[in-house]
Amino acid sequence: MNNIVSSEGAAKTTMCALLLGAVLNIGLDPLFIYALNMGVAGAAIATAISQMVSTLVYLTYVLRKKSAFSFSVKVFSPTGQMMAEILKIGIPTLVFQLLTSLSIALINRASGDYGDSVIAGMGAVTRITSMGTLVVFGFLKGFQPIAGFSYGAKKFDRLREAIKTSIIWSTSFCLVVGLVMAVFSTQIISQFTEGDTQMILAGQKSLFANGLTFILFGFYTVYSSLFLALGKGAAGFFLGACRQGICFIPVILLLPMVWGMNGILYAQPIVDVISVVITVVMALHLHRELSRAEKQIMSNSEM
Q: Give the pLDDT confidence of 160-178 residue by residue, as tens digits.
A: 999 999 999 999 999 999 9
**Predicted confidence (pLDDT) at residue 237 exceeds the cutoff of 80:** yes
Q: What is the per-residue pLDDT for 96?
A: 80
Q: Where are the alpha helices (DSSP H) in the chain?
A: 2-7, 11-30, 39-63, 80-111, 116-152, 156-183, 185-190, 197-214, 217-229, 233-241, 248-259, 261-265, 267-302
This prediction has a pTM of: 0.82
Say how many C-beta atoms besides its own lie within 10 A of residue 175's C-beta.
15
**What is the distance between the alpha carbons of residues 22 and 33, in angstroms, rounded to a whole number?**
16
- Confidence band, pLDDT 50/70/90 cuts, at residue 10: confident
**What is the distance between the alpha carbons of residues 202 and 189, in angstroms, rounded to a whole number?**
9
What percent of the chain has pLDDT above 70? 99
Residue with more model confidence, 44 or 302:
44
**What is the distance between the alpha carbons of residues 35 and 50, in angstroms, rounded to a whole number?**
18
Average pLDDT taken over every residue of the chain: 91
- Mean of the pLDDT values across residues 175-190? 97
- Confidence band, pLDDT 50/70/90 cuts, at residue 71: confident
Over residues 13-55, the pLDDT tens digits come to 888 898 999 999 999 999 999 999 999 999 999 999 999 999 9
What percent of the chain has pLDDT above 90? 68
The residues, any chain, with a CB within 8 Å of residue 98's CB and separated by 6 or more, are: none
- Mean of the pLDDT values across residues 245-264? 94
Over residues 84-141, the pLDDT tens digits come to 888 877 887 788 888 888 998 999 999 999 999 999 999 999 999 999 999 999 888 8
Residue with more model confidence, 242 or 74:
242
